[in-house]
Chains A and B, each alone.
Chain A
């Protein structure tokens, strides 16, 4: 009697195993949160050091047009104007996205609305495979095809914003196309049927019904592509020329946040102003990544409401 009571009161081996399983899962979650927080903390604390420790003003950093952290400017402060890189990053990203969007959506329409069988059987797997092509391959193609082509067409060195934008355009094309295809496919069939039943032509249906109701998803795809373009480092660095100058036209060497980071991070000493200011550039990248993330969430919510 006593024995069986004791046995009932004790936790069995099985239930202990259950507890262990739950604990492990919880620890993994805690680990993820810890990782995210420490990334934010480490990059932010380094990036902010430029302003707190080295006394660079945030306005000078964001609006200054001369980047030469090693030397002192006329006002007695280091030349840490990051505007050339910020402008470079935004121009390259927007150009690439602006060119890629129509092509990606056009290709997606072709794959879902015009020839769905070929699209589903051949083109979609192909696009999904191509999403994984390493960015260094795009950079190398840019270096050996786009840059010489630019040099021969426009003169100069061939390195520049337009070369970077072309490389990024091709790089984000599979991603944006593949996401657009998923979105167009998720438009319910009865939308199309209802539109066709009302006498709309196929093109009117695609343009007025399918694209309209897929807009939030398509926007998400484009923002996703932009985020990828904005954060791409080596492929851009190989073709943009990496001159930290205010971009005056599209065919002379310029630079982006990522390209200056990859070029200079290895050549500066940890803890110096030259190094800290690079971390400030990394902080801008991080903030922009968070911004793109919030933007996609917001679009998703808006789209869900409609």
Chain B
């Protein structure tokens, strides 16, 4: 009797969990798809036609620049933590605490720090550059964590074989360890780009919300998520907000699907 009761509860909670998430996706799709008109993809934003193309292009710019800066820093940090530093080193523990701290900071605090440091202190104003640098700091812990995990999953025997053939540390890392660990690192990098696409609070106070496509690193712009936030809080373009939501969700889902696919490939290869 009580067994059925518990079983019912478990089924019910699974139903609610997946039901609510399914509801969100389908709600946005149903409300947004009919309004996804070609006009929304016009190159210029006007107050009558709230085109999302400038925001979409800005998003790609921000993601691209962020990854170009954050990936080498994050990957090399991972190298140091796993390949160079001695195990049980006190300093490594400290750095792990530092990256964990970074990962735990709410994005609004990143945004405020970016405003204080990049926008005001370094006088970048509300600009693409300030937004990108803030996003770099935000995604670093993700990339470091992914790099660490995939480096750890590489068997030590590979490294030892490489060393015994006379290869140095750096050569071993680049020629032996990195190729094996690549899918995992890539999956982390792609996950990081998904995070940037969905980010609003950290970018609002660093990039501003200008509707134009930024023409230099020092001009303001808005990403797609910010665009949707502004549209929906103004409340005048509800249909367009839904349509923007469709594009935003699809972008993030594609990015995350890629990341999941790559990391599943890594686990398959390492457990072979």
Residues of B within 8 A of A188 (CB): none
Chain B: residues with Cβ within 8 Å of the partner, total of 83
Q: Is A32's CB under 8 angstroms from B104's CB?
A: no
Enumerate chain B interface residues (CB-CB to A < 8 A). Answer: 3, 6-7, 9-14, 16-18, 20-21, 24-25, 27-28, 72-74, 76-77, 79-81, 83-84, 94-95, 98-102, 104-110, 112-113, 115-117, 120, 137, 140, 144, 168-171, 173, 191, 194-195, 197-201, 204-205, 225-226, 228-229, 232-233, 238, 241, 245, 248-249, 252-253, 255-257, 260
Contact of A33 among B14, B17, B95 (CB under 8 A): B95
User: A261 with B104: in contact, given A136-B229, A234-B229 (CB under 8 Å)?
Assistant: no
Q: Is A297's CB under 8 angstroms from B100's CB?
A: yes
A231 CB to nearest B CB, Å: 2
Q: Is B28's CB under 8 angstroms from A141's CB?
A: yes
Q: Is B21's CB under 8 angstroms from A139's CB?
A: no
Q: How many residue pairs, one in A and one in B, have C-beta atoms under 8 Å apart?
A: 232
Q: Is A39's CB under 8 angstroms from B249's CB?
A: no
Please name 17 further chain A to chain B contacts, defined as beta carbons within 8 Å, in addition to the given A136-B200, A227-B104, A282-B112, sorted by A numbering.
A17-B168, A32-B95, A32-B144, A33-B94, A38-B117, A39-B109, A39-B137, A42-B113, A42-B116, A46-B116, A106-B13, A132-B191, A137-B24, A144-B238, A231-B107, A265-B112, A289-B104
C-alpha gap A144/B140 in the complex (Å): 34
Q: Is A33's CB under 8 angstroms from B238's CB?
A: no
Q: Is B228's CB under 8 angstroms from A140's CB?
A: yes
Q: Is B232's CB under 8 angstroms from A140's CB?
A: yes
C-alpha gap A270/B117 in the complex (Å): 13
Q: Is B14's CB under 8 angstroms from A29's CB?
A: no
Contact of B77 among A25, A227, A270 (CB under 8 A): A25
Q: Is A238 an interface residue (CB 8 A)?
A: yes
A292 CB to nearest B CB, Å: 6
B255 CB to nearest A CB, Å: 7
